[in-house]
Chain A
Amino acid sequence: MDIPGYDVAHLLAGGMVLVSFMLLYQDRMGALLNVFALHATVLALSVAWQAYVQHAPHLYVTACIALGLKAILIPSALRRIVRRLDIHREVETTVGIGMTMLVGVALVALSIVLMLKVTVGVDPLGRQDLAFALAVLLLGLLMMVTRRNAVSQVVGFMSLENGLILAASGARGMPLVVEISIAFSVLIAFIVIGLFLFRIRERFDSVDVADLHTFRGDRA
Chain B
Amino acid sequence: MDALSLSAGTTLDMALIGISVLLGAGVAAAFAARARYGARTIYVACLITTAAMLAASLSFLIVGGATESRHLPIGLPWIGMHFDLDLLAAMFLVIVNLGGVSASLYGIGADAEEREPTRVVPFFATFLGAMNMVVLAADAFTYLISWEFMSLSSWALVMAHHRDADNRRAGYLYLVMASFGTLSLLLAFGLFAGPSGGYAFADMRALHLEPLRAGVVFVLVLIGCGSKAGVVPLHAWLPLAHPAAPSHVSALMSGVMTKVAIYGLVRIVFDLLGPPPIWWSVVLLILGGVSALLGVLYALMEHDLKRLLAYHTIENIGIIVIGLGLALAFEAGGIGWAAALAFVAALFHVLNHSLFKSLLFYGAGAVYATTHERDMEHLGGLIHRMPVTAFAFLVGSVAISALPPLNGFVSEWLTFQAILVSPQLPEWGLKFLIPAVGAMLALSAALAAACFVKAYGATFLGRPRTSAAESAHDAHASVRVALLGLVVLCVAAGILPGYVIDAIAQITTRFVGADMPLQSTQGWLTIVPIDAARSSYNGFFVFLFVAFTAWAAALVIRRVATGAIRRAPPWDCGYVDSSPALQYTASSFAQPIRRVFGTWVFRARETVTMPKPGDTRAAHFAVVVRDVVWETLYVPIERLVTSVSTRADRIQFLTIRQYLGLMFVTLIGLLSLLALTQ
Contact = CB atoms under 8 A, between A and B. Distances in A.
A and B touch in the complex (CB under 8 A): yes
A117 B427 CA distance: 12
B428 interface: yes
A180 interface: no
Size bracket of the B interface: under 10
A201 B294 CA distance: 46
B600 A99 contact: yes
7 contacts: A96-B600, A98-B596, A99-B600, A109-B432, A113-B428, A113-B432, A117-B428
Nearest to A105: B436
Nearest to B431: A113
Interface in B592-640: 596, 600
A117 B600 CA distance: 34
Interface of A: 96, 98-99, 109, 113, 117
A98 B598 CA distance: 13
B601 to A, nearest CB: 11
Nearest to B599: A96
- Chain A interface secondary structure, helix, strand, loop or mixed? helix
Closest A-B pairs by Cβ, 7 of them: A109-B432, A113-B428, A99-B600, A113-B432, A96-B600, A117-B428, A98-B596
Contacts of B596: 98
A96 B600 CA distance: 9
B439 to A, nearest CB: 10
A157 to B, nearest CB: 28
A117 B429 CA distance: 12
A96 B428 CA distance: 30
Contacts of A98: 596
A10 to B, nearest CB: 19
Contacts of A109: 432
B281 to A, nearest CB: 19
Nearest to A117: B428
Nearest to B597: A98
Contacts of A113: 428, 432
A96 B432 CA distance: 24
Contacts of B428: 113, 117
Nearest to B596: A98
A96 B599 CA distance: 10
Contacts of B600: 96, 99
B6 to A, nearest CB: 53
Contacts of B432: 109, 113
A109 B432 CA distance: 8
A101 B428 CA distance: 23
Interface string B419-448: 000000000100010000000000000000
Contacts of A96: 600
B428 to A, nearest CB: 7
A109 B596 CA distance: 24
A176 to B, nearest CB: 38
A113 B427 CA distance: 12
A106 B476 CA distance: 54
A104 to B, nearest CB: 14
A98 B600 CA distance: 11
Nearest to A109: B432
Contacts of A117: 428
Nearest to B429: A113
Interface string B389-430: 000000000000000000000000000000000000000100
A186 B219 CA distance: 54
A113 to B, nearest CB: 7
A113 B596 CA distance: 30
A113 B432 CA distance: 9
Nearest to A112: B432
B35 to A, nearest CB: 61
B135 to A, nearest CB: 42
A98 B599 CA distance: 12
